[in-house]
Structure 1
Amino acid sequence: MRLVFMGTPDFAVPALRALHARGHDIAAVYSQPPRPAGRGKAVRPSPVHRAAQELGLDVRHPVSLRANQAEWDAFAALKADAAIVAAYGLILPPAMLTAPRLGCLNIHASLLPRWRGASPIQSAILAGDTQSGVTIMQMEAGLDTGPMLRADSVPITTATTATTLHDQLALMGAELVVHVLAEGATPVTQPEDGVTYAPRLTREDGRINWQDSATAIDRRIRALTPWPGTFTTLPDGTVIKIGAATPCATRHSALPGTILDDDLNIACGEGAIRLLALQRPGRGMMQADAFLRGQSLPPGLRLGEDTAHTHD
């Protein structure tokens, strides 16, 4: 088929590569414009942009598609059979949704209608869901509301992180969209029951509230690492990022946020959690024992009391 591919982050790259490998004619790849990234803030193309260049594909990166008639006309002129969209990051106007012969198909990282929206992978882990998956859907004007074409699921365990689930679903999405294009699919209207929305995340979502249960805090750390990342503060306001932790059986009667022992077991609103990897400002993420060689965190110190501190 003659396709247009539209995506930006790493999640979309396996689908682009799979479609190219299957011999589809990819007329153009749309991705977000190159932007400053990393400590040096050098301007970098997106992961999809880089992959498309490696494959020798034409890349377009309009800043906006809103009221952009010239871009709509250029898109229609590609005369694509379908557009495949995976975490592109721009809303497609009706003129673009209807331009390809078969419309636009979205690779969405949830089992719709659960977790429509921007952060389905993180939201599923945060909520304690026992499964996630990918839905291939026909796009329409609503937010992830279109008919479903195919879906598959994976379990979420107590070891699942946003990183591991992301990688699983990226590969699953690539396989599913290849199958849909090869075999076709009967559209199924999304049910009205079970609709939930996954909000756009901010850095503040990563602030640990030690009043929460150890189970909830564990989910937050697994869901929001590596981005936006989870963190707490020392009494002096120093931000400490948390890279990994595990609930533990330590019994306590301490206030939430209190360091219980030299093993970095922390009192929670219910239960306790052991911090396994931490990061000081300006340093890399370290295992707890290495971290403690350069930063004293004595038992009895209470984390997260500096609630007025703004994380940056």
Structure 2
Amino acid sequence: FTMGRGNYTEKDIKEAARAFTGWGYNGQGEFVFRQNQHDTGSKTVLGKTGNFDGDDVLNILLEQPHTAVYITKKIYKEFVNEELNDANVQWLAQRFYDNNYDITKLLQDIYTSDWFYTEKNIGNKIKSPIQLTAGIRRFLPMELEKDESQLLFQKILGQILFYPPNVAGWPGGKTWIDSSTLMVRLQLPQVLAAKESINITAKNDDDVNMGMVKEEQLRINRNKAYVNKGASAVIDWTLVNKVFEKTAREKLSQKIADTLLQTGSRVDAALLDNYIAKDSRENFVKTTVIQLMTTPEYQLC
């Protein structure tokens, strides 16, 4: 997780482990170094030999240019594009290394670069389930009928918060999308608005769900089960309408789309118009927001 595979050997791992002997924590979770448990013998890590402790090993790792490159690649994939641009990565990694691993300066280099704002790097990442649900709830002021429904959606979509599949975390990217989760993602805004129902089986995948989901049919119906499961929500549409109250009616749908969508492409306005209520401005805003949130474009960031 620091240098990337291929830049160290199994012996380096064993020798580094010896250097970290004695490191621990107390009952309050505070770091404790237990000298009597520390291996004081000579160790060889990445070609350097000495009576190293944990701090020494960390310094040796930071001296390696591969460390800066590997960390830069991970940050680039997270904030820019999963498809790496070698020239951009090498430039960033060198500056990151020269700036003594200053994360703030690395992010500044990314966000102030012209290529960060190119069409290729905008709206190219699939939102994680938490990003998706948090984004919906952030834009739509709501009270869930039952808070437990948040866990239900996390189980169905394959990301239970604070329960990653392993120490590496969730793989992310295209793994968030499959034949079942895509339909739930597209239906979720309408489910919260109590206009749709979900009839789907959550994945029985211990790598994703950490054994927390049994083979059972997770069913949410529009009527009675909505009350039992608490999957729908009470949305304060008055506050949503205030966001767009100064926008002219003829520009309203485009303004809402510009606010919600982070992609260069746009939803077909003529097609969208077929599903929008036009009896009042309030209902126009409500139905436009919900319909845009159910589009594939809304799945991207």
Give the TM-score taking structure 1 as reference length: 0.31
Report which of the two structures shows the higher radius of gyration computed on alpha carbons: 2
User: What TM-score comes out, normalization by structure 2 length?
Assistant: 0.31
| Structure with a larger share of its residues in strand | 1
The higher-RCO structure (CA 8 Å, 6+ apart) is 2
